[in-house]
Amino acid sequence: MENFKTGKCPVTHGANTKKGNSVMSWWPNALNLDILHQHDTKTNPFKEKFNYAQEFQKLDLNALKEDLKKLMTESQPWWPADWGHYGGLMIRMAWHSAGTYRTADGRGGSNTGNQRFAPLNSWPDNVNLDKARRLLWPIKKKYGNKISWADLFILAGNMAYESMGFKTFGFAGGREDIWHPEKDIYWGSEKEWLAATKNRYEKDADRESLENPLAAVQMGLIYVNPEGVDGNPDPLKTAKDVRTTFKRMAMDDVETVALIAGGHTVGKAHGNGDPSLLQPNPEAADIHEQGLGWKNPKGKGNSEDTLSSGIEGAWTSNPTKWDYGYFHLLFSYEWELKKSPAGAWQWEPINIKEEDKPLDAHRPGVRQNPIMTDADMAMIKDPIYREISEKFYKDPEYFDQVFARAWFKLTHRDLGPKSRYLGSDVPNEDLIWQDPIPKVDYTLSLDEIEVLKEKLLSIGVSPSELINTAWDSARTFRSSDYRGGANGARIRLSPQKDWIGNEPERLQKVLSKLEELQASLDKKISIADLIVLGGTAAIEMAVKKAGYNLIVPFTSGRGDALAKMTDEESFEVLEPLHDGYRNWVKKDYAVKPEELLLDRTQLMGLTAPEMTVLIGGMRVLATNYGKTKHGVFTENEGVLTNDFFVNITDMNYTWRPVSDNLYQIIDRKTESVKWTATRVDLLFGSNSILRSYSEFYAQDDNKERFVKDFINAWVKVMEADLF
């Protein structure tokens, strides 16, 4: 029988082959544990152990750079280069790869090559960047595993600038590719592209109230709408949006002006056509389009008929040459609002000299008006931006220097500490935003480590205090941008030493004892190493009390950062507002504690089983914030047992709500209160996935397995930032 809707025979198929058919769609509020396992080895084509750093060392970087420079001027008939040079396109690709970075959670950025996948590959702001990636494919094919897509995007941007006459600050490899879309990144709650900005602001009039952690004013944009706020030109309003979004990308006002000017010194915007005619984006395009999107059916569909942002024109008189024409035009002419052929708002000069008009990108001998976006006009309308722009205009050498450093920061901000940088083009200078840490000049033998453990357990603080100090030092690590962690011992410095989540009074007590111990040693061991080793020694003692003779591994080599190496403001975003592992929430937030736990766990690079064993172990070790007893389901505090799991899965107990985040565990027979718990504690009995792990670790035959798994997870946290 034919299907009456399609005219085709129906067939029963057993697999959920579409994204919208998730088995969990019935329960939209269920905890999304998938974000902890998204980049599993099953999706990675490197079946064997692949070491990208080793492969990169085999790369002939100079040959690759020359191939990239050659590519810039080899115009392809399927997508002709503007003025015969792909520089502008490649710079935009690199910028938009790096520009998604946001400081609040360290997510986004160039680190993973995520521009290859949804949603980024189909964002409105990334129109036609699919062509840039296809132009790069022959080079990626040639150099293969020695260069990741993520590294190639950034290097291509660098070579684009250098091929047009600009000397970049440097380049570092080290970005490893992912193999499917990221599930963890929250890009906004909007259900449509470019929805009104009010959807992202607590107060629409307050342009600094942009929802955290977002760093773009609309869904599908990198930063701001080039036509103005909600498409309404007003350079002063746009300036506020620019300042907010760039700050959330770790840029100050000087860096912001330099980046906008330097980014618009070359290339052009494309808006010659009717946007309503553009065919679907890459993710939605028909299968025969082979992953290319935004096809323009009118005219050539490319060249002079290219349609991207909707704005049409170049910013400078010589768009394939690094010069100072951007500021020359911006300050030399009055500008008026015009509409592009695509109907987009843009600014054009009044009574411009013919020689200042750029040549058309594809029609020889034809000159066109240059253009400015609303963001460009903000560079001279906002008083602060104007002062900076004037200084750049008067001092081109200064502009070169600032832009070179700002571009390097933009493209390397999420690469992590300098120890992760690869290649011969890594700048020698240590930059404060790299969170530099001095190298240590010592090693520790196994015997020395054992002696230190004994001393640490005798300095006059409790084992739980040692564990908590080590944990608080390490928990700041973010796998998103490789910031934070125990290395550097910045928990000693402002602002971390005063964070309420670090229990400053307890912290100072432990630190002072560690400093006394350090001063007494013949070999000056870093405080960073002593902090971690103190926690390690306390864990090991708890393991022995549980009846297991197991060593908790420890790796030395952490340095102690200095205050002058620490940008206090940039570290403020790392302040913990919650810590499910220590059963603490700073305030009552709209987001549930278990969701906060999941977010922190993903940033720390932990799996769901690792989260489970750590929670269970931390509870019985009595490591709760403020020494609360919530979730401490044991009669043997300080002993690393599986009691937490035994008791949370025990049907002799029932659970009674007291408040939104407080519960009582009731003995069914006596009806007496046995324990108290938070939502995070009860999560490991209520969530079906986590309960399966709890039951696993509650088994009589998995007691030792629990201890071993806890040790492994603990070491993973302590060593996450050792590169």
Check if the beta carbon of residue 574 is closer than 8 Å to that of residue 480: no
What would you report as the CA-atom Rg of the chain, rounded to the nearest whole angstrom? 28
What are the CA-CA distances from residue 137 to residues 88, 122, 132, 179, 574 (Å)? 18, 18, 9, 16, 37
CA 717 to CA 471: how far, in whole Å?
8
Closest C-alpha among 399, 386, 393 to residue 236? 386
Torsion of CA 204, 207, 208, 210, to 10 degrees: 50
Q: Is the peptide bond before 657 cis (omega within 30 degrees of 0)?
A: no
Instruction: List, in order, residues 6 or more apart from 597 with CB less than 8 Å away.
Output: 578, 580, 581, 611, 680, 683
Query: What is the DSSP secondary-structure string of 179-235?
Result: SS--SS----S-SSTT--GGGGBSSTT-TT-BPTT--SSSTT-SS--TTSBTTB--H
Q: Which structure tokens are listed for 719?
A: 């060593």
CA 239 to CA 245: how far, in whole Å?
10
Task: Please identify which of the residues 96, 270, 412, 578 carries the catalytic annotation.
Answer: 96
Helix/strand number for the chain, H first, E second: 22, 9
- The three-state (H, E, C) secondary structure of 444-486, written as one string: CCHHHHHHHHHHHCCCCCCHHHHHHHHHHHHCCCECCCCECCC
Positive or negative, the CA dihedral 345, 346, 347, 350 is negative
Amino acid found at 419: S
CA 39 to CA 42: how far, in whole Å?
8
Place of tokens 């047992």: 641
CA 149 to CA 111: how far, in whole Å?
10
Amino acid found at 619: R
Residues in the chain, how many? 723
DSSP E strands in 494-652: the ranges are 578-579, 584-585
HSE toward the beta carbon, residue 128, CA cutoff 13 A? 26
Angle between helices 374-381 and 325-332 (to 10 degrees): 70
Closest C-alpha among 556, 517, 522, 535 to residue 439? 556
Amino acid found at 722: L
Q: Which structure tokens are listed for 686?
A: 């209520």
| 96 is known as an active-site residue | yes
- The three-state (H, E, C) secondary structure of 388-429, written as one string: HHHHHHHCHHHHHHHHHHHHHHHHHCCCCCHHHCECCCCCCC
Check if the beta carbon of residue 475 is closer than 8 Å to that of residue 618: no
CA 623 to CA 618: how far, in whole Å?
6
What residues are annotated to the active site? 96
